[in-house]
Chains A and B, each alone.
Chain A
Amino acid sequence: MKFFLIAATFLSALVALIWVGIASAIPVVSVAELGAPEVVGTEVEVKDGQVQLIHSFAPLVFTVSSRNVKGQLVVVESPRSVPENFKPGIDVGLRGTFDRQKNRFVASVVTTKCPSKYEASKDAKEAGPYTGSQQAAAPGATQIR
């Protein structure tokens, strides 16, 4: 009986924590939704950001657009480090708040996707638009010796 009481208390505490966690969750929005009144001033996570232009590295200021819906551009400012492999065209994860006065998104977290070993795209399956200009091993055009 004691065990069941302890287990019940334990589980109740956990359920309460889960409830608090869910209640305090951060909404995930797209770049296109960033200017919306219900989003301004609220901490959000941006799901479809893609870097378009880098303005400065310290502080980190850059422009993102939506990966899926082209058009809207949003300026992002962050006090954080420049993430790995940060460049125009790369997908970024952002967390922060849209500041209406500055008209920019102030990001507390900026992450780039880690190119994992299990990534789906394979060079051989979709030969990409690689120019080969810096290819050290085999300069010049295709050679068949």
Chain B
Amino acid sequence: MGVGSDEALFQSLLRLGDNTLVLGHRLSEWCGHAPALEEDIALANTALDLMGQTRHWLSLAGEIEGKGRSEDDLAMLRDVWDFRNVLLVEQPNRDYGHTLMRQFLFDHFHLLMLRGLSESSEARVAEIAIKSVKEVTYHAERSAELIIALGDGTDESHRRMQDALDWLFPYVGEMFETDAIDTEIAAKGIAPLPADLRPAFDAQLGAILDEATLTMPSDAFAHKGGRTGFRHTEHLGHMLASMQWLQRAYPGAQW
């Protein structure tokens, strides 16, 4: 495939930073709209954690790329086709059940990935992961608790959570997709192979969904194309339009 080593690391860092950027922005869309004040603040905290992680990943990505692009340049001045986040995180918030289910599915992947990255042979990557893993441990605990409470809650909450799971499950597979970039990065001990994280994810997901009385969909079909940038869903462009408009309309604006 001819990916140079810096290019592979750059792409891997974009995958990490774009996941947290896009999901962080999605969560921030709830700010002031969540169903309870306590949930509003909790989601905003999670969004801020993810934004903080984004800053680390994207500024390191810019450094590795070596073209003088800052974290802000990468976040605000790339268009859809240059984003490398998985399709799951760009899915719209829909209702609160969908938002929580999306968070739950991502958190448990994210936690496993960060634990692996904490032992990275690349010191700068390990450092970011070690800091992030504490935040994400809390995210994963919180989302699991809510999935259990709502799945095993009222008829309506159960139905909404099962709908959300059925809707979002086809976006799970992409998180564990493994290509030449992942293989190269894993061979150097920089990051775990995503595919290797799947068994632990499935076990954890199964246990929590059981407790939540939710049924894991059996269809293994997976939408793909986000982390390669090959084909994002139509939702990302709309999200970027609202996220990036200020830097696009007033380049270099600061306050």
- The judgment on whether A and B are partners is no
**Residues of A in contact with B (beta carbons under 8 Å apart):** none
